[in-house]
């Protein structure tokens, strides 16, 4: 498990460097955070609950004298709390190191020093992007936890394929419904974006504030909470 | 209880079985007869489709820690994580309140398992012997072994049999499932035979010796109620109803063939 954690963090590190080289600091921070936190956490959750996805190891852990809740809680603490904290710490160290290196490399005598200095800053864990990624982390991790307990063997790949099918299905259904409701629709994406043609222009239809919040909180926090709890129920019912 | 992987096609239908401590049971059956399935139902790894199983007043299905502390299943395909022997013991032994560390290392020595790095790098046979040693050291009241001799070499099979005999106590129940019937010779004292999801025989070795006789004869004529016969060097090896109180040694392989080939006759003999 320590080796796998190290491997994931190494991938995150490489991703940061590649993205920084190709697109600069902002790209590096955004791409690494968006892909790093939800996806690597999902990989990690898959590894932790993957112990229940094969006959031999699953039988071994299910017959270990501990309650279902204790087993589930261990998995949640490792995959849902410990790993994200490690990721965030690692991300902060890498990000602040590179940002500091950049700041130190600047010529303090340059007339553009302040401008250049201010153009690069440490990623804000409390920013808008971060708060869009956190729900994605909860959702993906929840799906992986449940998937690892529903599928036997190569659960992560099966979860990934199921997610793709589910997402394409939702996109399709959403598009068809939007097409039925709006004659001049030009684009629609789940669950809060519909664009319509108004003359030669394109306009976006926005949900009333409270409806949008219901979807945002529902998808971001309620659905993941249900999935995380569902993994506990599934663990209790797991058979081999 | 009844059980089936598919609700429409039951593997066991209305199976009724009572197992008592103080015995080493041998569960015999062909491949796919449902031996492992029965063990998994007893451990709570599978749930009965209907009916119930009670083990020392616990329902295995709930998999309560107090239940799991008193039962240990050694599956046919064992799992060992990437840990050394000591790391494994330190991590998993605390879950078993009666775990005996001294005996654990003694069993490992008897089974010739040496500390050779991570457990998952050992051969399958070594891994299996390690798990057997650990399971025995857990001192659980119930020990279930699914095809324990699979993957063991001949000296290890002998050591295994000696070890099982030595750890057996009157308050313990050991339940061994196998299709390698010879491995259980002189080890078990009760036999259970299942076939096609049906319980064909459940009797002690003593009762089997009373009800059946196992002998070699030159000719088959003149022997009543023959359940099974096979060619042997000096004629025929025969399993027949023991009508005259003859004493003979129970041959498990012949018994198994006799019962599976003539289930109705066997049931009739053991009914009284």
* DSSP annotation string for B181-232: GGGGTTT-SEEEEEETTEEEEEEEHHHHHHHEEEEEES-STT--SEEEEEEE
CA distance B254 to B270: 16
Q: Is A60 on the interface with B (CB under 8 A)?
A: yes
What is the arithmetic mean of pLDDT over A14-26? 90
Predicted pLDDT at B272 = 59
- Structure confidence by residue, pLDDT tens digits, A141-160: 998 888 888 887 777 788 88
Q: Do A56 and B64 touch (CB under 8 A)?
A: no
Q: What is the ipTM of this complex?
A: 0.86
Q: Is A240 on the interface with B (CB under 8 A)?
A: yes
What is the arithmetic mean of pLDDT over A164-185? 86
Predicted pLDDT at A98 = 92
- Structure confidence by residue, pLDDT tens digits, B27-82: 998 888 889 999 999 999 999 999 999 999 999 999 999 999 999 999 999 999 99
- Structure confidence by residue, pLDDT tens digits, B125-134: 999 999 999 9
* Token reading at A11: 């991938």
Q: Which of B60, B63, B83, B147 to mutate to test the interface with A (most CBs of A within 10 A)?
A: B63
- B79 contacts in chain A (CB < 8 Å): 54, 56-57, 59-60
- A59 contacts in chain B (CB < 8 Å): 40, 45, 73, 75, 79
Q: Do B79 and A59 touch (CB under 8 A)?
A: yes
Banded model confidence at residue A210, pLDDT cuts 50, 70, 90: confident
B92 to chain A nearest CA, in Å? 8
Q: State how far the alpha carbon of A92 is from the alpha carbons of A1, A33, A129, in Å.
A: 22, 10, 15
**Domains detected in chain B:** 23-186 (3.40.50.300), 203-271 (no CATH)
State what percent of residues in chain A have pLDDT above 70. 99
Q: Is A201 on the interface with B (CB under 8 A)?
A: no
Banded model confidence at residue B109, pLDDT cuts 50, 70, 90: very high
Q: Do A63 and B45 touch (CB under 8 A)?
A: yes
Predicted pLDDT at A109 = 84
Predicted pLDDT at A163 = 83
A137 has a pLDDT exceeding 80: yes
Q: State how far the alpha carbon of B144 is from the alpha carbons of A194, B73, B105, B151, in Å.
A: 61, 5, 21, 17
How many helices (H) and strands (E) in chain B?
Answer: 9, 9
Domain ranges for chain A, please list them. Answer: 2-237
Predicted pLDDT at A88 = 94
């Amino acid at each position: 498990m320590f080796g796998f954690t190290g491997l994931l963090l190494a991938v995150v590190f490489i991703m940061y460097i590649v993205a920084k080289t190709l697109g600069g600091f902002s790209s590096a921070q955004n791409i690494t955070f968006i892909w790093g936190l939800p996806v690597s956490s999902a990989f990690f959750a898959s590894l932790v609950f993957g112990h229940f996805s094969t006959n031999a190891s699953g039988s071994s852990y299910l017959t270990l004298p501990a309650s279902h809740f204790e087993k589930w809680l261990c998995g949640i603490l490792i995959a849902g709390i410990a790993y994200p904290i490690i990721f965030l710490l690692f991300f902060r160290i890498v990000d602040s190191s590179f940002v500091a290196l950049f700041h130190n490399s600047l010529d303090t005598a340059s007339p553009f020093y302040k401008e250049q200095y201010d153009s690069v800053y440490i990623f804000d864990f409390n920013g808008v992007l971060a708060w869009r990624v956190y729900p994605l982390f909860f959702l993906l991790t929840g799906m992986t936890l449940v998937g690892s307990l529903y599928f036997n063997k190569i659960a992560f790949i099966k979860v990934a394929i199921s997610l793709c099918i589910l997402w394409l299905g939702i996109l399709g259904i959403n598009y068809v419904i939007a097409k039925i409701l709006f004659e001049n629709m030009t684009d629609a994406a789940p669950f809060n974006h519909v664009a319509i043609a108004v003359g030669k222009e394109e306009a976006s239809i926005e949900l009333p504030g409270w409806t949008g919040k219901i979807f945002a909180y529902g998808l971001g926090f309620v659905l993941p909470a249900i999935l995380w709890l569902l993994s506990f129920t599934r663990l209790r019912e797991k058979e081999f | 209880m009844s059980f089936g992987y598919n609700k429409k096609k039951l593997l066991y239908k209305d199976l009724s079985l009572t197992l008592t401590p103080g015995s080493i049971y041998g569960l015999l059956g062909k491949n796919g007869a449902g031996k492992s399935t029965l063990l998994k139902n007893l451990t709570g790894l599978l749930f009965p489709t209907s009916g119930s199983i009670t083990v020392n007043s616990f329902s295995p299905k709930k998999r309560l820690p107090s239940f799991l502390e008193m039962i240990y299943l050694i599956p046919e395909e064992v799992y060992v994580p990437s840990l050394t022997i000591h790391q494994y013991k330190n991590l998993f032994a605390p879950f078993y309140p009666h775990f005996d560390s001294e005996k654990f290392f003694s069993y490992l020595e008897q089974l010739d398992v040496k500390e050779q790095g991570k457990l998952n790098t050992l051969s399958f046979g070594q891994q299996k012997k390690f798990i057997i040693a650990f399971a025995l050291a857990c001192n659980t009241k119930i020990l279930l072994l699914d095809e324990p001799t699979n993957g063991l070499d001949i000296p290890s099979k002998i050591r295994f049999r000696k070890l099982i005999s030595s750890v057996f106590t009157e308050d313990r129940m050991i339940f061994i499932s196998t299709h390698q019937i010879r491995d259980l010779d002189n080890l078990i004292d009760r036999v259970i035979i299942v076939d096609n999801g049906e319980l064909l025989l459940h009797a002690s070795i003593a009762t089997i010796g009373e009800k059946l006789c196992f002998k070699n004869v030159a000719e088959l004529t003149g022997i009543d109620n023959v359940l099974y016969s096979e060619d042997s060097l000096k004629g025929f090896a025969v399993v027949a109803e023991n009508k005259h109180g003859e004493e003979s040694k129970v041959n498990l392989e012949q018994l198994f063939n006799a019962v599976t080939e003539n289930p109705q006759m066997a049931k009739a003999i053991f009914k009284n």
